[in-house]
Chains A and B, each alone.
Chain A
């Protein structure tokens, strides 16, 4: 299926699945929800949406998805995670539940709800490495930030320091894995999804070559 349009799944255990399906379709990908191991096996790549990371992790374990997810990530499947999805891709989680499990894959430490509770949720323009034109409009909802990254991780966006607060890493990439603290799926600007679709296409070309 190397020349056909890539099929990108959206993990549909809980969260803003619909918005990601729309954003992927507008970035010219075939998108479909994934809730079962056999559905995961049928997709080329996966988006882990925004939602509650504790709920997603809990359901992924209960329905036998966690191990297949880890195996696919280890085998090089491209994955993009927004917000809760970023937490799911982190090797280490701070301020999560003690027993909270992630899929892992990106060598980073992510702090959950780091920007605060809902009253502190905000929108802000973000410069995103490699994007031309307008800054990305970042929607941060009880959002995590990346506390630290390993040598293999490329930082794609930072929220600049302001009011005495340090600058914070809010978008990263490591190989075929992409993660953002914010929700591009809520804005109608599909450049992050288009970047991910290109990553998926490149991964397939590399695998096919």
Chain B
């Protein structure tokens, strides 16, 4: 960890890498749910969510409505912060560091620099070291994850294909990230330099991953989880927790489905529990087949 200098007794330090990454460690084994108002936030908290993601429209509606998707209205974020006692996250556009500054000023607990919103910069992501508020970023492979960590991300999630209700892309990204990590752990130390070149990631981070056998930050799954079994699948594939977006509040019985996804995430390796909680949930969101999505509508291609 980059910030390991001990704080002196009279000088408490805020915004350190340890405090930012440590916050994500506390969310492990949990479910973070997309909510668009205070009422949904309460439903999520009642169901056992470890945090909520405040946004104006869930990804399924962003897809349907089209247009430019931006940071949410501050009043709406305030309303959600006041409604629940669990952490509140919010999304900024990729590279839109002023939206991120606003979210920090609003007091959100985590900022998601998210490909679900329309990117504001097609070259640079935000410099996340410049913030006290920690960031989570999406990744499709290890190189991308390490580039985000180099920029200061304190948590990584798979990108998946948000708003489709189709878990196929999240599975692809989670498998890719973990397979990239496993491969690194088999390399000779001399081979890590070329590995860093190929991953287009800083050598120091590549070396750290090779030694740890995992990312230096928490890795969650996101994008397309619609059922308790989807959540458990992502956990069995090595996710340390799950983001659920449109899957809950676009379904027939959000409160029941939310509680079921929470339980399936905790007991991800117990098919009996997953079977139990999967009963009588009503309709899942309809979903979109990712292979029929035009390239321009694939959010996972945003960010690099």
Contacts and interface: CB of A to CB of B under 8 A. Distances in A.
B7 A141 contact: no
A97 B133 CA distance: 24
Given A50-B25, A139-B19, A95 B85 contact: yes
Interface of A: 12-19, 35, 50-52, 54-55, 58-59, 62-63, 83-84, 95-97, 112-113, 117-127, 134-135, 137, 139-142, 160, 162, 183, 186-187
Contacts, number: 139
Given A118-B109, A137-B6, 14 more contacts: A12-B29, A15-B26, A15-B30, A35-B266, A54-B86, A55-B86, A83-B26, A118-B134, A119-B15, A119-B107, A122-B12, A123-B16, A142-B23, A183-B22
Given A14-B28, A59-B266, A84-B26, A119 B104 contact: yes
Overall SS of chain A's interface: loop
A83 B22 CA distance: 12
B18 A15 contact: no
B50 A122 contact: no
20 contacts: A14-B266, A16-B28, A17-B28, A18-B28, A50-B25, A51-B26, A51-B29, A52-B51, A54-B48, A55-B49, A62-B259, A117-B109, A118-B110, A122-B16, A122-B19, A123-B13, A123-B18, A124-B7, A124-B11, A124-B12
B61 to A, nearest CB: 27
Contacts of B13: 122-124
Q: Is the interface of B mostly helix, strand, loop or mixed?
A: loop
A121 B19 contact: yes
B22 A15 contact: no
Interface of B: 6-16, 18-19, 22-23, 25-30, 45, 47-51, 85-87, 104, 107-110, 132-134, 259, 262-263, 266-267
B12 A119 contact: no
A157 B4 CA distance: 22
Contact of A162 (B10, B26, B267): B10
Contacts of B7: 122-125, 137
Contacts of A123: 6-7, 12-13, 16, 18-19
The 8 closest A-B pairs by CB, nearest first: A118-B109, A124-B12, A58-B48, A122-B12, A14-B29, A16-B25, A52-B50, A125-B9
